[in-house]
């Protein structure tokens, strides 16, 4: 058992907020936090404090904290900003439903969620991984510059909006189910792969259901000027943004898709029967890196 010093907890925080100390247990390589009835400020503060303690404990051979590889959060219900701005290689395992902006500005951690995630997951994320055993809300991976996001089932509107790549940074989103409208809006780099393998049988998710049987909604890639979107199955032309072209995938694309598909299979334990056929994918990419180049009079 580790105690977080109460005095430590009260610093740097808004005068009206009183922080609560969650129940924390350490077993081997895991640090388990019970998030039940704990507000997001207290929860995230505890995570940061533990990460700090782990960092400082690195110098002491005997410290049990230095062995911690995973922080497990139990009974999470809607707490926002988990993993926000964390620069570390820690694994954060979440049981329950985390709130908006999961992994925002995150730089390094691997977050695995056993449940659904809400809006803004991976907002402006720089590196790291988010694995979701469920569905995601809107603006998944907004402006993400690096790292990987795997969603087992569906994703809401504006997934991958303004994703961009830079040098070694190459953001990837894999959506196992279907994606809502405006997929890859303003996209400037990286890749999005949509598998469309879930048939949306759960009536709760019906709002993503389209009239057709295609894997993504309307206005795909509006304003797109970089990166690639791979979708399994066909997409009607009227659903594409005016900035993009549809084409067949080449060998290079196949290799790229296969690499991330393998991760998807591994993370979610997909059996051979459920695996998808690579030749079913189409590629969507922008006409130009400069879609608005001719808009102005000089």
Partner 1 sequence: MTLKLNQSEFEIIRDKEKCISCQVCVRQCSNDVHEYDETEGVILSDSSKCVGCHRCETLCPTGSIKIKKRESEFKSNANWTPEHLKNIYKQAETGGVILTGMGCDKPYPVYWDHILFNASQVTNPSIDPLREPMEIKTFIGRKPDILEIKPVKEAGSDIIKYKNNLEPQLEINIPVLFSAMSYGSISLNAVKSLARAASEFGTFYNTGEGGLHKDLMIYADNTIVQVASGRFGVDKNYLNNGAAVEIKIGQGAKPGIGGHLPGEKVNYDVSTTRMIPEGSDAISPAPHHDIYSIEDLSQLIYALKEATEYKKPVGVKVSAVHNIAPIASGIVRAGADFISIDGFRGGTGAAPQVIRDNVGIPIELALSSVDLRLREEGIRHKVSLIVAGSIRSSSDVIKAIALGADAVYIGTAALVALGCHLCQKCYTGKCNWGIATQDPYLTKRLNPEIGTRRLLNLLNAWSHEIKEMLGGAGINAIESLRGNREHLRGVGLNERELSILGIKHAGEAW
> Which CB atom, from 75 or from 87, has the smaller least distance to partner 1?
87
Please give the size of the binding site for partner 1, defined by CB under 8 A.
Answer: 52
> Which CB atom, from 99 or from 177, has the smaller least distance to partner 1?
99
Which burial class, exposed, middle or buried, applies to 85 when counting CB atoms under 10 A from its CB (0-12, 13-18, 19+)? middle
Taking the complex as a whole, the smallest distance from the CB of residue 126 to partner 1 amounts, in Å, to 4
87 near partner 1 (CB under 8 A): yes
* Tokens representing residue 170 in the block: 């190459």
Near partner 1 by CB under 8 A: residue from 161, 179, 195, 261: 161
User: Cα separation of 124 and 83, whole Å?
Assistant: 12
User: Cα separation of 285 and 35, whole Å?
Assistant: 42
Near partner 1 by CB under 8 A: residue from 1, 6, 7, 12: 12
User: Cα separation of 171 and 181, whole Å?
Assistant: 20
Please list every residue from 197 through 256 that binds partner 1, using CB under 8 A: 223, 225-226
Which burial class, exposed, middle or buried, applies to 41 when counting CB atoms under 10 A from its CB (0-12, 13-18, 19+)? middle
129 near partner 1 (CB under 8 A): no
User: Cα separation of 80 and 119, whole Å?
Assistant: 10
> Which CB atom, from 119 or from 253, has the smaller least distance to partner 1?
119
Are 86 and 127 within 8 A, CB to CB?
no
Q: Tokens 């060998």 identify what position?
A: 251
What are the residues whose beta carbons fall under 8 Å from the beta carbon of 27, sequence distance 6 or more?
Answer: none
Near partner 1 by CB under 8 A: residue from 7, 15, 271, 277: 15
Taking the complex as a whole, the smallest distance from the CB of residue 255 to partner 1 amounts, in Å, to 21
Near partner 1 by CB under 8 A: residue from 46, 116, 123, 181: 123
Which candidate, 253, 255, 215, places its Cα nearest to that of 235?
215
Taking the complex as a whole, the smallest distance from the CB of residue 123 to partner 1 amounts, in Å, to 6
Please list every residue from 261 through 290 that binds partner 1, using CB under 8 A: 289-290
Please report, as ranges, the residues that interact with partner 1 according to CB under 8 A.
11-15, 40-41, 44, 48, 80-81, 84-85, 87, 100-101, 104-105, 107, 119-120, 123-124, 126, 139, 142-143, 145, 158, 161-162, 164-166, 169, 185-186, 188-189, 223, 225-226, 289-298
């Amino acid at each position: 058992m580790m105690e977080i010093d109460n005095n430590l907890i009260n610093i740097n925080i808004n005068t009206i907020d009183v922080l609560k100390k969650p129940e924390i247990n350490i077993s081997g390589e895991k640090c388990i936090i019970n998030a039940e009835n704990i507000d997001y400020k207290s929860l995230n503060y505890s995570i940061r404090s533990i990460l700090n303690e782990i960092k400082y404990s690195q110098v002491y051979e005997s410290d049990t904290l230095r062995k911690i590889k995973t922080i497990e959060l139990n009974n999470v219900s809607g707490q926002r900003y988990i993993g926000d701005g964390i620069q570390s290689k820690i694994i954060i395992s979440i049981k329950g439903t985390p709130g908006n902006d999961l992994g925002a500005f995150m730089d390094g951690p691997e977050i695995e969620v056993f449940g659904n995630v809400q809006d803004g997951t991976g907002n402006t994320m720089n590196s790291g991984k988010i694995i979701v055993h469920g569905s995601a809300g809107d603006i998944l991976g907004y402006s993400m510059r690096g790292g990987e996001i795997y969603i087992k089932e569906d994703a809401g509107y504006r997934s991958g909006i303004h994703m961009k790549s830079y040098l070694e940074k190459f953001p990837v989103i894999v959506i196992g189910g279907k994606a809502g409208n405006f997929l890859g809006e303003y996209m400037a780099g990286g890749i999005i792969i949509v598998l469309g393998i879930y048939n949306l049988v759960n009536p709760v998710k019906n709002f993503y259901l389209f009239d057709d049987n295609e894997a993504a909604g309307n206005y795909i890639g509006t304003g797109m000027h970089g990166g690639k979107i791979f979708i399994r199955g066909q997409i009607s032309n009227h659903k594409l943004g005016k900035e993009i072209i549809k084409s067949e995938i080449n060998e290079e694309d196949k290799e790229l898709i296969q690499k991330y598909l393998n991760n998807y299979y591994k993370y979610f334990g997909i059996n051979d029967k459920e695996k998808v056929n690579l030749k079913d994918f189409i590629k969507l990419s922008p006409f130009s890196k400069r879609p608005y180049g001719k808009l102005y009079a000089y």
